[in-house]
Structure 1
Amino acid sequence: MSPFFLPAATHGQDADATAGNMIHEVPRTKAPEELERQYLIKWQGWSHLHNTWESEKTLQAAGVKGAKKVENYLKRISELNRWRKKADKEDIEYFNCEQELHDEQFEEYKKVERIIAHQVSRDRNANGSQAMEFFIKWQWLPYSECTWEDEGLIRKNFTDKIDDYFRRINSKTLPNKNNPLLFTKRRPKFTKIEAMPDFLRRRDNPDMELRDYQLEGLNWLLHAWSRENSCILADEMGLGKTIQTISFLSALFHLHEVHGPFLVVVPLSTMTAWQREFEIWAPNLNAVVYMGDVVSREQIRQFELMFANGRQLKINALLTTYEILLKDKSYLSSFDWACLVVDEAHRLKNNEALLYQCLTGFNTVHRLLITGTPLQNSLRELWALLHFIMPGKTIILNSQQR
């Protein structure tokens, strides 16, 4: 049999889950009657890098808890086999495709998305030097699944993630949680950007540029900001409002030394797209996605947002959803935000809505709403949007417009 590692026996962990792969020929030199069924075990508190193949005998010998999950797994396999005998060919093919996607995603769980903390290890390196451990956020898994891993294990394949982590925490362009100067600092005179700026050029495709109308949109956003006017970006769908917005935040960062923090509130359905575009168009900004269950959000607050002094932030931009914003409004409203961005801002068309009332109380220097053409809405809805971005200015509707 192949050698295996029993974290349950060594560290007192439980068997957390079983995967759908089984080995019937381990080792191949044995006769069929000597073969044993093995299960791929995900150990509780350990990452998928430490999954091991185990038989029922080795699980029993190790005295692990959670062995009941093996029985549940076998029941699911039995039910699946019965279903296959009765199911249509198309249904089986669809199921097999889904299973292939699941297996591919399973491999992604072994990839480091980002490192969020480090500490000195109790172990030492082979040369006697002090070893280090990293707290890992795994690809496609929530922050609640973060695990501590040895430096040597991570350096084998993810040295670039270690470099990215230390670059982020040692950055000299990080804002403070509260900064009264954001509200009093005089903004510079607008200077038009005539051509694609270098800080927006993509690393993987330096020849790719903003379209003419996107560059015009970027200049319009910068002009409004320099005039201290919050605004509404209302291009038609598919014209790159996300890219224009991120380019605007990147321009504030690089050209005007406004390092944030920027709060970007978007629908859950577009969060992945926003995260991807930030990585492409604003790689120098540390943008963190704030969402997930209670445990995940606590991990983000503890490790991703602020340094131990409680004043300086580790981030330049925070992306979250409407739902999470409402849940954690007391925490998020304690920041001074250099810019608030709200995607699909038609949700603010009712000034009596909970989201509208919540965001109105946030400390924001500049507000940018992204929506479809607001002039197609009623004047009452347009008034609500304008009143949100310009709360100090009087906008009067007559009785018919109301």
Structure 2
Amino acid sequence: WLDVYELNVGLNSYLHCEWATIDQLEKDKRIHQKLKRFKTKMTQMRHFFHEDEEPFNPDYVEVDRILDESHSIDKDNGEPVVYYLVKWCSLPYEDSTWELKEDVDEGKIGEFKRIQARHPELKRLPRPQAGSWKKLELSHEYKNHNQLREYQLEGVNWLLFNWYNRRNCILADEMGLGKTIQSIAFLQEVYNVGIRGPFLVIAPLSTITNWEREFNTWTEMNSIVYHGSLASRQMIQQYEMYCKDSRVTWFGFFLTSKSSFRPQNPSLQPQNPCYQPQNPCFQP
């Protein structure tokens, strides 16, 4: 019988976890202390998980987003090497790692390239005049061939009418009728008339994942979730918010539960229904 442990070495991602025997681990002077903590943790978790379950969340090896690109030279053969800074699914930004191009999903590299190729708007266009509003008779076809239902189209028309007429409003449909989708379609229509954002969405933490999923399902715009530890938020500010060497924003949608945070002069600020910001100084 041989005890074998799966471990993550140093600052590597879960993609590079490897199996090692106790003899191989002896090189680490603190290994016995680490193993003791590990076994204690496993004993406690045994009541909640089956032994045949994955040793870690499979999401941890799925690429969520690519944040940056770096070019280098291989010291061994002198060949050019490309690295990508990868944010992994279900892990915070602070756990992002640099990975060889060969280890990264080509589809995600393509998404990163498309975002980088976009030319950000240097000049903000004014809101169209109220008289230029026209009712949408039929739903546009959004990303993935999605279309609005008839009652959702009516809601989007109402939101657009109020926006053209400079009036704040509340979309108070019952639960399950697609308020999130109507809000996203509304923002897409605003985007289509030349107002490129950024759009700030404030929502309870429990709903942000759904907002992000629907944004990515219905639109091609770059959506960013601003949440997490100080280290994660600093990484978002460094890699996600602005074009390199400028202060021009990259993103179209900015999702956050931090009501006290506001990017400079957002074009629109949808707020999740029934969500009351906790900051008493907050001014909508």
TM-score of the pair, normalised by structure 1: 0.65
Partner-residue secondary structure (3-state), 1:280:
helix
1:311-337 CA deviation, whole Å, 9 max, x = no partner? 21111110000xx232xx3xx35x110
Structure having the higher helix fraction is 1
- Is 1:114 the counterpart of 2:65? The answer is yes
Question: Which runs of 5 or more residues in structure 2 are unaligned?
Answer: none
Structure 2 vs 1, CA of residues 52 and 246 (structure 1 numbering), >3 Å: closer, same or farther?
same
Within a 5 Å distance, the mapping from 1:188-337 to structure 2 comes to 189-198=132-141, 200=142, 202-203=143-144, 206=145, 208-254=146-192, 256-282=193-219, 284-321=220-257, 324-326=258-260, 329=261, 332-333=262-263, 335-337=264-266
CA distance in 2, matches of 1:125, 1:153: 19
Q: Is the contact between residue 140 and residue 147 of structure 2 (CA under 8 Å) also seen in structure 1? A: no
- Is 1:341 the counterpart of 2:284? The answer is no
Aligned to 1:20: none
Higher relative contact order (CA 8 A, sep 6+): 2
1:103 to 24, 45, 54: 54
Offset at residue 234 of structure 1 (A): 1.3
- Is 1:164 the counterpart of 2:111? The answer is yes
1:73-129 CA deviation, whole Å, 9 max, x = no partner? 123445667xxxxxxxxxx5xx236x77x7386111001011011111242798x65
Partner-residue secondary structure (3-state), 1:40:
strand
Larger radius of gyration: 1
CA distance in 2, matches of 1:248, 1:105: 39
Percent of aligned pairs with the same amino acid: 30
TM-score of the pair, normalised by structure 2: 0.90
CA distance in 1, matches of 2:268, 2:71: 37
1:197-240 CA deviation, whole Å, 9 max, x = no partner? 12x1x42xx3x531111000111111111112222111122211
Aligned partner letter, 2:38: Y
Aligned to 1:187: 129
1:160-214 CA deviation, whole Å, 9 max, x = no partner? 0000001011113x345xx6x45x554361111111212x1x42xx3x5311110
CA distance in 2, matches of 1:80, 1:272: 26
Structure 2 vs 1, CA of residues 210 and 120 (structure 1 numbering), >3 Å: closer, same or farther?
same
Structure 2 vs 1, CA of residues 138 and 192 (structure 1 numbering), >3 Å: closer, same or farther?
same
Matched pairs, number: 283
Structure 2 vs 1, CA of residues 79 and 195 (structure 1 numbering), >3 Å: closer, same or farther?
closer
Partner-residue secondary structure (3-state), 1:313:
coil
Aligned to 2:283: 359
Aligned to 2:74: 123
1:56 to 22, 36, 55: 22
2:91 to 141, 161, 183: 141
Aligned partner letter, 1:134: Y
Offset at residue 50 of structure 1 (A): 0.8
Q: Is the contact between residue 43 and residue 51 of structure 1 (CA under 8 Å) also seen in structure 2? A: yes
Structure 2 vs 1, CA of residues 314 and 80 (structure 1 numbering), >3 Å: closer, same or farther?
closer
CA distance in 1, matches of 2:79, 2:57: 35
Partner-residue secondary structure (3-state), 2:245:
coil
